[in-house]
Structure 1
Amino acid sequence: MENEKLIFCLEAIPDVDCTSPTEVVKILEDIALKQGVTSIYKACDSIEGLEESLGILLYEDHNFKDYEIIYLVMPGEPNTIRLNDYYYSIEEIAELFEGKMKGKIIHFANEKILDLTDEESQYFLDVTGARAISGYGSDLSEISSASTIDRVFFSLYQENDDLKEVVEELFQKHYSLCKLLDFRLYY
C-alpha cells in the first residue's frame, strides 16, 4: 500500500528479557494479517527503555515519517504511565517526546485513563508537535481496547486522513463500545 500509515507500538512489560509474546504482539500480528496494517513493536520495562526505543525509532529507522500512530500500551493512573513501578505524568511524557512527534497521533490503549483538560491536551500537543492524542476515559480493564476498538481505529485511519471523520465513523459503527470505554480524541 503506497500511502500506508504504519504503527509504532511501545508496550510496558515487567521484564524485557521475557521472550513470550504478549497479547498485544498477537493482536498486532492479527491486524497485519487480516487488515493489512503494518506495525513495529517494542517492549520496555523502564523509562530508559522507552527513551532508547524512541531514540532508535527517531534516529535509526529511515521509515520514521511513515509511522503516523505511536501506540502506547502502558498501565498507569489517570494521565500517567507506570514503568518499573514508577509513575510518569502526561507532562513528563510530553517532555520526553519534546518536538519529536510532529504530525503523529499518540494513542493510549485503555490500560490507563486519559482525561485531559483543554490546557493539558494543548500543552502535550504543543510540546510534542503531535497532531493528536487519543485514549480512553474508562478504567474498564475487563475489555482490552487493543483487541477491540483500537484495531478498528487503526483500520479506519488507514482509509481516511481526516481524524474527525474517522472518529465519527468509529462512533457510528461501534457506538456502544466507544461509549463504554469512553474513547477520547484531543487535537
Structure 2
Amino acid sequence: MLAERQLPQENFEDPDHFIFCLEAVPDVDSNTDTKVLENLEHLAMRYGVNSIHKTCDTIEGLLESLNALVYDDHNFKNYEIIYFVFEGEENNICINNYFYSLQEIAELFEGKLQGKILHFSNAKVLDLEAEEAQYFLAVTGAQGISGYGVDQTILPSLLLDKAFFSLFKNKDDMFDVVEELHQRHYNLCKMLDFRMYY
C-alpha cells in the first residue's frame, strides 16, 4: 500500500525543480508525519523546492507509486531527484521486514529514471561496487546515485539532504551541485561520507 502527500507550494517559484520522495513506513494507514516530511515542508517553504512525499509499506506500494509518477504525473520530466528513505543492509533496501536488492530495484525501475538522480537518505548506508553502480545506472537510465557511508544512528543526513536538494534550485549540473555542496558543507560531507556514483 501507499499514501501520498503533496507539500505546500505557496513559495514555489521554479516549476522546473521537484523532488519525489518515497519513504518506507511500517503502516501507511497510520497518519503520522515523519521527520522526512517535516524537512521537505521546510525545504518548500524556505527554498521554494517542491516535493511529492509518498509512503509505502510493501514493494507493491513502491511499484504503484513509481508507475503513477512515470505514467500519470505530467510533471515527471521536472523531477530531478528521486529521494529514497528506506532502511536496509549492504546493497538491499528493507520494506516491512522484506529485503530487496538494488539489482531487483534496478529491474523494477528499468528505463524509468532517465536523467534522474536517485538519492538515498542515510537510513540505509549506500556502499556499491563500481560494477553494481554501473549496472543500476545502465538499467534505469539514472544520471547518478547518491547517498552516505555513515548510518543514521551515528548522525542523521536530513540537514545535508536539504542542503543538497536546495542547491539544485539554482544549478542544473550534478557535478557543480556536488562541488558546491562540498565547499559549503565540507565537514558534514566528510562526517556523513557523502557519495555519488555516476
The TM tier, using the shorter chain, reads over 0.9
3-state SS in 2 of match to 1:171 = helix
Deviation at 1:27, TM superposition (A): 0.8
TM-score using structure 2 length: 0.91
Q: Does 1:86 align with 2:98?
A: yes
- State whether structure 2 residue 33 is matched by structure 1 residue 21: yes
Structure 2: distance between partners of 1:4 and 1:35: 14
Please tell me the residue identity of whatever aligns with 1:126. Answer: A
2:116 is the counterpart of 1:104: yes
* Residue 4 of structure 1, CA deviation: 2.6
Distance 1:93 1:182 in 2: 23
Cα separation, 2, equivalents of 1:98 and 1:11: 20
Q: Tell me, yes or no, if structure 1 residue 115 matches structure 2 residue 100.
A: no
Secondary structure class of the residue paired with 1:159: coil
2:69 is the counterpart of 1:57: yes
Which of 53, 68, 75 lines up with 2:80 in the alignment? 68
Q: Which residue of 1 aligns with 2:180?
A: 169
Once the two structures are superposed, the pairs formed by residues 127-166 of structure 1 within 5 Å of their partners are 127-146=139-158, 148-166=159-177
Question: How far 1:162 moved relative to its partner?
Answer: 1.5
Identity level (%): 59
- 1:184 maps onto 2:195 in alignment: yes
CA distance in 1, matches of 2:20, 2:197: 19
* TM-fit CA distance, 1:143: 2.3
Q: Distance in 2 between matches of 1:123 and 1:30?
A: 34
TM-score (norm 1): 0.96
For 1:30, the equivalent position in structure 2 comes to 42
Q: Tell me the amino acid that sits aligned with residue 93 of structure 1.
A: I
User: How far apart are the structure 2 equivalents of 1:6 and 1:87?
Assistant: 28
Deviation at 1:5, TM superposition (A): 1.2
**RMSD, aligned CA:** 1.1
Unaligned stretches of 5+ residues in structure 1: none
> CA 1:6/1:113 → structure 2, altered by over 3 Å: closer, same or farther?
same
- Contact 2:14/2:48 (<8 A) preserved: no
Supply the AA of the counterpart residue of 1:184: R
Residue 149 of structure 1 aligns to a residue in which SS?
helix
| Segment drifting more, 134-143 vs 12-21 | 134-143
Superposition deviation, residue 156 in structure 1: 0.8
Q: Which amino acid aligns with 1:51?
A: L
Paired residue type of 1:186: Y
